[in-house]
Amino acid sequence: MPDFKKRYDFIISLGRFCHTADLLAKNGLKIIDGPWDWSGTAHRETVYGRIECLYKGFENYFNKEDFVPFDSYKQDLYMDWCNEAIKTNGKKIGAPDTNVKGAYYNTRTRTYYTHDFNAKSSFDEQFPQINEKYARRFMRTLNFIKASDSVLLVYANNLAEQRRNMPLETSQVLRAMQKLRARYPSITLDLYMFDHSSAFDGEHYQRIVHDVGIIRYLSNHHDVFPATDQVLGHRADGLMMPISICYILSKIELTDKHKMI
């Protein structure tokens, strides 16, 4: 009997970190650079907000006035993953740049960018070019959705970070997906959510179907490829990935619809 694979025209990484996009790319499931390939967030509303963002067409997603230096947010974002109250640091974009690593945080979307900016030039000097880059990614993503018959959204929580758990509200996910599907009624829009977490103690993984095409996979921190594994698709950004997630991704493939684009 042939091995059955689920096929999609287009696959989008919703994050929550850049590992997700890298894992998709190394498993042959990425067509273009997406909006969330090089950013991260520590907030549980990430998946709802990013589905909503696709629904709204990235409206107000990359406004200059929403960015502040990242340094003041490190403690909240790295040490307290479930802290929903972001403390206002009072800094303005025009203030002296004390962010030596050149990273910035978007207070509206609660997203941090540690790869795009640098510490050699000021924020004002860099922003126009980076803004243009993201505008292209936003438009390209929307165009690929419109030109597709089937689209898969992939969200991964705690892929390799093995930090605190971030529970997802199923009802919020379903509402967000209902709105997005209504926006694109002729397109099959599915969502896979990978929750790699110490809270799950199953032997391998658990598949939870919330709705048709909206699936959550639970796996635990013991389910990771060993550091000696040499398969390219088993690691992302230098970190070993969960065995169950790589297995599930191996059952997905892209169609040839956008192959020549």
pLDDT digits (tens, 9 = 90+) for 93-133: 333 333 446 889 998 888 889 889 988 899 999 999 999 99
Report pLDDT for 153: 98
> Do 23 and 73 belong to one domain?
no
pLDDT digits (tens, 9 = 90+) for 182-238: 999 999 999 999 887 666 666 678 888 999 999 998 887 667 777 787 888 777 777
> Do 45 and 86 belong to one domain?
no
> Do 46 and 157 belong to one domain?
yes
What is the spatial distance between Cα 29 and Cα 154, in angstroms, rounded to a whole number?
Answer: 11
Domain that holds residue 103: 64-121
What one-letter code names the amino acid at 112? Y
Tell whether 53 is covered by a domain: yes
What is the spatial distance between Cα 1 and Cα 244, in angstroms, rounded to a whole number?
Answer: 22
> Do 113 and 234 belong to one domain?
no
Stated pTM of the model: 0.85
Structural domains in the chain (count): 2
Tell whether 250 is covered by a domain: yes
> Do 68 and 188 belong to one domain?
no
Looking up tokens 């969330």 gives: 36
In this structure, are residues 173 and 214 in contact, taking their beta carbons and an 8 Å threshold?
yes
> Do 202 and 94 belong to one domain?
no
How far does the chain reach from its first CA to its final CA, in angstroms? 33
Longest pairwise C-alpha distance within the chain: 64
Tell whether 127 is covered by a domain: no
Q: Which of 3-17, 28-42, 61-75, 221-235 has the lowest mean pLDDT?
A: 221-235
What is the spatial distance between Cα 4 and Cα 160, in angstroms, rounded to a whole number?
Answer: 28
Q: Is the pLDDT of residue 50 over 80?
A: yes
Tell whether 234 is covered by a domain: yes
> Do 38 and 164 belong to one domain?
yes
Tell whether 259 is covered by a domain: no
Query: What is the SS3 assignment for 19?
Result: helix
Instruction: Cite the beta strand spans of the chain per DSSP E.
Output: 6-8, 10-13, 67-69, 104-106, 111-113, 150-157, 188-196, 205-211, 214-219, 235-236, 239-240, 252-254
